[in-house]
Structure 1
Amino acid sequence: MILLPGEAIKHSSKTSYKKTEGTLYFTNKRLAWCKLEEQTPTVEILHAHVHTPKVNTSADKTILKVVASTPGSNGEPVEANAPMFVWKQADREAANAERTKFVTELSILSTRRAQAASAQHSSGARPTTQGASAPDAEYGKVKIGAVPASADEIKLRQEVLAKNRDLAKVHKTLVIPGLVPEDEFWSTRRNILETYAIQSQLRKGEASSWLYLSHTIQESGNFKYTITPNVARRIFKEYPQVKRAYVENVPHAVGEKEFWKRFVASQFFNRGRTTDAYKGRDKIFDKCVDEEDAVFRDTGRFDVAFLTRLLDLTRTEEDSVETGNAPDFTMRPSTVDKKLPLIRRFNQHSQLVLQTVLNNKRRQLAEHDVVDKTLEEATLLRDLDALVPEKKVRLSIHDRTQYFASVSKNVPSTGRPLDPDERHAALEIGFDISRPLDGCGNTQRTMQALSQATHRRALQRRPNRIQELQIPEDINGAVAECHGAGTEMLRHLWALLRLPQTLARKEKADKIVAAFDGVVRHIRETIAKAKTMETKHPNLGSMVESMLQPTVESLRAGKVSFEAKMKNVQVA
């Protein structure tokens, strides 16, 4: 096959297409099929056009069907024209292994396509309010569970599979081979789709972290700041004066790069720091300093209507624990002037973080009923309230010997009931159980020995639950995949066996039982791989085998039950 510039072949295999022998190639750019002794591809599918690979489950043939989009289909897959490739080797295991190489590569492309579509969809241009990301309107009115599924629900399913690798593996095991229909697979997972649809509607607010511009020192000794559009937007929110200066001066007065250079070198940006890093005066940002000082000096900007009358910040003449009757030294102007810009920054940042919450609460506090109720609850003294007579009558028993009347009835006729003093002596404990035992030796050592013995006994009885299993990541993933595939297949099989048998259900159950062999083969491969790693991980093979043996036995029991029922039940 003639390769494109920069193209390299990853996999190649002898296959037939439309009963014509040829070779199937998978490269880093496309999937191509060429006839024997020809160099020009008859079938060519670029990576960007691949949607879903599908395989058959019958044992007589090994088929791969590639659903892809065409240049004129607006990115939508055309399954009717999907090419089908057949492996005709006599050794079916070798043919399945060859097909698996292509299915794995195509599945990766399908997952990347879904992730790219999700990222493109989430980063699309949408109007935002106050810097918060707008909700995803596409999934707001999706009707989940409709048959057939809508285009929006299909997109939602693809995004869920792209973000949930375990679910994607189960989908690949059940749906792609045709064991379970697509709609039936998602019918039991509607909660996952609904949860994702709700999460896609949630608006992501602004980050509440403190804006800190870090710098790098170049070889010349100069500082270098990197200001991205996101950083610039946060600067505009933290410093409204800078936003106003940017609008007034960029780009007609100064360039954007020069504006940010002057900003990081200005007194407005560097005041409040330990060292004065600004260079001279700047008419743009010195104006920002004056505007900010004027805003903070204006006491009229505080809306005292929202301050509770229980708190009076103007009263500072009373005695305090720290200073006694002496004047308060904590707010002297000479010591606060240098720290005042930093204090203002913290206060302004806190105000921005709490702004959305305070807006709602302030509307509630503005109501007079709420204010009056708050003051009434704060100044109400329960001890001064008039006593209200209780409506309930307390139980009072004068003859308390009747407490043990029921006990005396159970005493044998030949015995004598105990009097209160004898009963008290019989129930009396001779030591204080709330204190350490005296005269019993080292009780702490005894308790430690008992705890260790109990722990050892528990380890001997339940080793799989208590001991920490050191399993490599790839083996652990393979075990989870075997468990997931076996559990899902058995769940569908048992559901089919409990229903009245029809021809369609029997065919579906036949496919599921035939797929058991693939799961068992995967389990054996996982156990064999684990045994080869026992040099680094002792007893790993036996450990993995004990973990997967219940799945093997469950698959065997399901197959036996299916065969027994098929013998005794007539298919309608």
Structure 2
Amino acid sequence: MSNPELGALHRDLVMTGQITEAEFWDGREHLILAQAAAEGQKKGKPGQLVDPRPEAVEGGEIKIRITPQLVHDIFDEYPVVARAYSENVPNKLSEEQFWKRYFQSKLFNVHRASIRSSATQHVVKEDPIFDKRPRNEHVEVFVDLAATLEDHEETGNEKDITMQAGRQKAALPLIRKFNEHSERLLNSALGEVPPAKRRRLDHGEDAYSQIDLEDLHDAEASNGIVLEMQDRQRYFEARMSGGAAESSQPKLDPMAVLQETKANLQNWETRLTQLKIDRKSGDSALIGMTKDVANRLDGRARKNDIPDGLLRQMTSCQTAANEFLRQFWLATYPPPGEPPAVATPAQRAAKAAKMIGFISKTHEKVQALVQTAQQHGIDPNRVQTALKPVLQASDQALTFYRNKKPSKV
């Protein structure tokens, strides 16, 4: 398990047969779902653009190192290159000839993520294999960097003239490239997602319906536990009588209160100089603070003097008791909205009785830990103080179970 504490609790309770696997995970379904979601999550496609960098070698030549990973990335990023490769290699062109022509084509300069590459498109000759293929100009509006539609047109916003596509012609190839790259990333991330989760775009709806995803909708909220109030009329009558009593009190005049406050603050400097503080009170306060600091420092010094074995036993006792208490209250008060088929009243009563049997042994286990602490020379009061909340919670559960009226099945 990714949670070591939960794994240790599972070994102590489930592996020893004290509770079943189903009982242990009852109420922890969200942990199972979170773990399943984490394991089922796949790593997405990297967002980095494929941009082979030429390297200068001796003699002024420029080379590009072609690796299997680079070929895979180019085919994945640019399907047009993959189609050209399958149509021409090895029947019409060799592997070396194909890549040489690709890196010298206009298509390669279009694919490069640089404004300087757009300038070379005007001097590079067209290649009949790569540069005669049609481009896909359809781009989704939410990934289109060339879009100039203004937002919230109904409020009167004017068009953003500073973002007009085409003002800088050198930037257009880059914008198209980023659009295509963004669309490919989104499509690869969505994969085989059902159309209902991809987007909702019906006739007559606005563009924002494209990003209305079901996974972003809030789940149906629980109505909670309905409280039944006894003698409701008496409760509201008491509130009304209290409000009437408050209204019968005389109202204060703000101006009179302000005048009285000003009068009380007159000559406050003289009164402050006449103030005398008893020295004994100051000394006692200072001594008390000094003792508190000394006790805290002494407590920190003795913080780790409990042996590791005893500390593990105390932790195990506390976590096991908390788990039994959780199971008991879960069986006594099932979550609201739980289907009746999950557990019948008789099954819940049997589970509660089983957990009470474990809870009743909490005092015995704590007493054994106290004796172990005495054997190690540890103050037993420290063990009792540390486990006192668990003992109180166990006593409350035992008292509740004894006083509970048997339910009719």
TM range, smaller chain: 0.3 to 0.5
Higher strand share: 1
Q: Which has the higher contact order (CA 8 A, sep 6+)?
A: 2
Higher helix share: 2
